[in-house]
Amino acid sequence: MKKSRGILSLVVTVVLIGLLAFTTTVGFGKSHIGSAKNIKLGLDLAGGVSITYQVKGDTPSSEEMSDTVYKLQKRVEQYSTESSVYPEGDDRINIEIPGVSNANEILDELGQPGSLYFIAQKGSDGTDNYSMVSSTGDAEKDYKLNKTIEELQEDGSIVLGGDDVKAAQAATREDQTTGQKENVVSLTFTDEGTTKFAEATRTAYAAGQSIGIYYDGAFITVPNVNSAIENGQAEISGSMTFDEADKLASTIRIGGLKLELEELRSNVVGAQLGEQAINTSLIAGAIGLAIVFLFMIIVYLLPGLASSLALLIYTGLVILILNAFEVTLTLPGIAGIILGIGMAVDANVIIFARVREEMTKGKSVKTALKTGFQKALSAIVDGNITTLIAAIVLWFMGSGSVKGFAQTLGIGIVVSMFTALVVTRMIVYAFYAVGLRSEKLYYRVKKEREPIDFLSKKKLFFGISIAVIALGFVFMGVNAGRGKGAFALSLEFEGGTSTNVTFNEDYSIEEIDEKIVPVVEEVTGDANVQTQKVAGTNQVIIKTVALELDERESLNKALVDEFGVDESKITAENIGSTVSNEMRQDAIFAVIVATICMLLYIWFRFKDIRFATSAVTALLHDVLVVLAFYAAARISLGNTFIACMLTIVGYSINATIVIFDRIREELHYQTRGTDLAAVVNKSITQTLTRSIYTSFTTFVMVAVLYILGVSSIREFALPLMVGIVCGAYSSVCITGALWYVMKKKFVK
């Protein structure tokens, strides 16, 4: 790079940092486009809309409630991946959607969930099931039902139900005859629905009849059947705008619920954590980044400064992308960003460690920089792509907080690879081009470390790991035996009691945390109380573990005594878990598929399944150790637990890849007389500095969050710190040893 280009690169870097800083802090225009303040925040950070539906008719079964909750969860994720749906009592369902403030608008879009029926035009006796009474173009006005739903069911005239519809989407397609574009509703049926619809359309087509779609007491469309449809794919066409098609598709989707629901109440609720939690998280992030910057400059000198500037660009770009794609940010999302920062630092550490090695061999600064970036490329790409595969699988297959975590993690990985491989490289070469070429600016002379014999202690390391994991299972068993449960399950997993209290004054979120929550914690013994403030009222929703009748009475008395509350304005309901069984199954299945995909990628890249199996085994080791910590420390196990475990999985696999990359490189030079144990020890020793430095920088980010954060953030940060330490231990002491044992035991 010429000096003029170097100066230009540094100017571009400074301007870009300044522009990103301005965008992040201020934004553009009256609406402050791009500002960090415009990032959509989840219900835990910014509040949103809470809607309660009542089931019509008899009390539903638990299976019907579970199925309806799951389908509604999928439906409301169009507003935000962090939306949650959970049962309240035996016949109510709560929907919480973050980042919105207009409950009426959501209700209009969501619709009134009811029953959906596909009705044949004629019954088995040949009489019309429905008749056309006018021709306004509005199916609700134009058609009327001639029989009751019960009569139609007995007659077999209801050919499909809403639960036979797998998907309904609005689309625009081109008419093959006229070439004109028209708006349609595309339907996809379940396997059972495909069979039913094929039979119904064969009958209707042969007789030249229609099939009416009836929802919540009225027809929403009565399309003619133009052919027998055998493949489970159908289209509803006609003269309609795209908005009309979208509304029709939305109605059909929501009509797939097993239960009929009616709106009971809707509220705009405040954040669960409050502004203080957001401010302390931002301050913690800034302090953590400052410490990381200082550390990188002290350790790596001028390249450390380059990486710090690249990290500033990384942070600005991530915030910009969160804005652009309207990603909803919650605590699990913050975890994904923290992991992204850790991986961005890790990539720089890998590069600069390689540069140092080359300079130790006596190479010039320019040659060392070029070779260092080249040799670091494979480890960075493999580590990031492996984690990115996991993020993509979790995004497509997960739901709720898992999806939110995957979003921010995926964004962080892509941006970190770009900043490490492009931005950092450009800045370092620019420094060199403008005349900063002294070796002292890039490298401190150090004696090359002799390989440490890690493998000689492999039995000790394996023994410690097995003992810790076994101890975790002991804690789980003891806790379960005492009737406490193996884990301290939170509201998200176990459900609890929701108490709605109308206070005599309007408390802010901060005042609720400082004055009301301690009283509730003392009475209930619940250390993870969640609160929400209903906007425009003095009402506060207090969510705790499930309370017995005497505990509810004690809580009511405490609220009356402490705050002078009118006891008649206190109501309580049991609420179900926000993470349904189906969502748990989705999360578990997504993690299993992600793990298999990572295993296959590592196998493909390293051409040896022993690398893949030892990497996944070490990953399982880290998860079990952190699980043991959850059991022993009785830390509340909720949505943040999922995010914590996923973060550890991503962090662990990335650390392992770096060591395996070195082993792979060393194996290229092996001969028949090469000592395999020496290769492994040398590879671990060469990457030891990277393991320590990366763990330290990521640990610092989380530790500052723990020190400054509110109680719920501490509950999230503490096990994450344990996971980071465990990941560093397993990558250094377990993975290489596992591969060595497998290599010796399973030669082929």
Question: Following DSSP, what letter does each residue of 247-267 receive, concatenated?
Answer: HHHHHHHHTT-SS-EEEEEEE
In angstroms, rounded to a whole number, what is the distance separating the alpha carbons of residues 380 and 363? 23
Mean pLDDT of 427-442: 89
Strands (E) located in 416-466: none
Whether the predicted pLDDT of 403 surpasses 90: no
167, β-bridge pairs: 188
Q: Is the pLDDT of residue 461 over 90?
A: yes
Q: Going by DSSP bridges, is the β-strand pair 165-174/158-161 parallel, antiparallel, or unpaired?
A: unpaired
Mean pLDDT of the region 516-521: 86
Taking 90 as the threshold, does the pLDDT of residue 120 lie above it? yes
Alpha-carbon separation of residue 12 from 173, 225, 370, 426, 430 (angstroms) = 45, 62, 22, 10, 11
In this predicted structure, the answer to whether residue 460 has a pLDDT above a threshold of 90 is yes
Choose the weakest-confidence range: 113-127, 548-562, 585-599: 585-599
The answer to whether residue 677 scores a pLDDT higher than 60 is yes
From CA 32, how far away is CA 63, in angstroms rounded? 47
pLDDT score at 544: 85
Q: Residue 468: is its pLDDT beyond 90?
A: yes
Contact 613/599 with Cβ under 8 angstroms? yes
Res. 345: pLDDT tops 70: yes
Please tell me the least confidently modeled range out of 140-149, 178-187, 329-338: 329-338
Q: How far is residue 620's CA from residue 59's CA, in Å, rounded to a whole number?
A: 43
Residue 114: per-residue pLDDT? 60
User: What are the helix and strand counts (H, E) for the chain?
Assistant: 25, 17
Task: Give the dihedral sign, CA 715/718/722/723.
Answer: positive
Per-residue pLDDT, 198? 92
Q: Which of 211-220, 221-230, 424-433, 710-719 has the lowest mean pLDDT?
A: 710-719
Task: Provide the 8-state DSSP code for 740.
Answer: H
Burial class (CB in 10 A: 0-12, 13-18, 19+), 105: exposed
Burial class of 208 by CB neighbour count within 10 A (0 to 12, 13 to 18, 19+): exposed
Residue 112 has pLDDT above 60, yes or no: no
Weakest mean pLDDT among 1-5, 268-272, 391-395, 620-624: 268-272
E strand or H helix at 98: strand 92-98
118 pLDDT band, cuts 50/70/90, is very high
Instruction: Look over the chain and give the mean of its residue pLDDT values, rounded to a whole number.
Output: 82
Asked whether the predicted pLDDT for residue 462 surpasses 90, the reply is yes
pLDDT computed for residue 275 by the predictor: 58
Backbone angles phi, psi at 732, to 5 degrees: -85, -45
The span from the CA of 542 to the CA of 562, in Å, is 16
Q: Which of 108-122, 251-265, 326-340, 459-473 has the lowest mean pLDDT?
A: 326-340
Q: What burial class does residue 64 get, using C-beta atoms within 10 Å of its C-beta: 0-12 exposed, 13-18 middle, 19+ buried?
A: middle
Cβ atoms 339, 412 nearer than 8 A: yes
C-alpha triplet 463, 469, 470: angle, nearest 5°: 85
DSSP 8-state symbol, 653? H
pLDDT confidence band for 110 (50 / 70 / 90): low
Helix residue spans in 634-687 (DSSP H): 639-667, 676-686
Residue 273: the pLDDT is 59
Report whether 479 contacts 631 (CB < 8 A): yes
The mean pLDDT of 46-58, rounded to a whole number, is 79
Q: Which residue has the tokens 């003992």?
A: 467
Mean pLDDT for 699-717 is: 78
Low-confidence winner among 35-49, 141-155, 453-467 (lowest mean pLDDT): 35-49
**pLDDT for the residue 355:** 87
pLDDT tens-place string over residues 555-586: 999 999 988 888 888 888 887 776 666 667 77
- DSSP secondary structure, 526-584, as one string: -S--EEEEBTTSSEEEEEES---HHHHHHHHHHHHHHH---GGGEEEEEE--SS-HHHH
Instruction: List C-alpha distances in Å: 609 to 455, 612, 679, 730.
Output: 20, 5, 18, 19
| pLDDT of 399 | 65
Q: Is 500 helix (H, G, I), strand (E, B) or coil?
A: strand
Let me know if 157 is exposed, middle or buried by CB neighbors in 10 A (0-12, 13-18, 19+): buried
Half-sphere exposure of 421 (CA within 13 A, CB side): 16
- Say how many residues make up the chain: 748
Whether the predicted pLDDT of 111 surpasses 60: no
Predicted confidence at residue 107, as pLDDT, reads 65
pLDDT at 256 over 70: no
**Amino acid identity of 135?**
S
Phi, psi of 744 (to 5 degrees): -80, -40
Q: Which of 17-31, 605-619, 719-733 has the lowest mean pLDDT?
A: 17-31
Average pLDDT over residues 615-625: 89
Give the per-residue pLDDT at 716.
76
**108-136 average pLDDT score:** 82
Domains of the chain: 48-112 (3.30.70.3400), 116-256 (3.30.1360.200), 274-470+581-745 (no CATH), 496-575 (3.30.70.600)
- What tokens were used for 300? 């790596």
- Residue 47, pLDDT above cutoff 70: no
Q: How far apart are CA 583 and CA 227, in angstroms?
A: 38
Confidence grade of residue 46 (pLDDT, cut at 50, 70, 90): low
pLDDT digits (tens, 9 = 90+) for 155-213: 889 998 887 888 888 888 877 677 788 888 999 998 898 999 999 999 999 989 999 99
The predicted model gives 625-634 an average pLDDT of 89
Q: Indicate if the pLDDT at residue 128 is higher than 70.
A: yes
Query: What is the Cα Rg of the chain in Å?
Result: 30
Q: What is the structure's pLDDT at 212? A: 92
> Each residue of 240-249: pLDDT tens digit?
888 888 888 8
- Pick from 376-380, 524-528, 539-543: least confident: 524-528
pLDDT tens, 66-98? 777 877 777 777 677 667 788 887 888 888 887
What proportion of the chain, given as a percentage, has pLDDT over 90?
A: 12
Residue pair 76/97 in contact (Cβ under 8 Å)? The answer is yes
Give the CA distances from residue 212 to residues 83, 132, 256, in Å, rounded to whole numbers and listed in that order.
33, 11, 16
Give the pLDDT confidence score for residue 512 in this predicted structure: 80
Instruction: Please count the other Cβ atoms lying within 10 Å of the Cβ belonging to residue 273.
Output: 28
Residue 449 carries which DSSP code? P
Query: Greater confidence, 494 or 185?
Result: 185
Query: What DSSP state is assigned to residue 730?
Result: I
Where does the pLDDT of residue 480 fall: very low under 50, low under 70, confident under 90, or very high at 90 and above?
confident
The pLDDT value given to residue 251: 78
Beta carbons within 10 angstroms of residue 548's beta carbon: 9
The answer to whether residue 340 scores a pLDDT higher than 90 is: no
pLDDT of 307 higher than 80: yes
Burial class of 15 by CB neighbour count within 10 A (0 to 12, 13 to 18, 19+): exposed
Residue 447, CB-side half-sphere exposure with 13 Å CA sphere: 3
Q: Specify whether the CB–CB gap between 109 and 124 falls below 8 A.
A: no
Q: Could you give the count of Cα atoms lying within 13 Å of 410 in the half-sphere of its Cβ?
A: 17
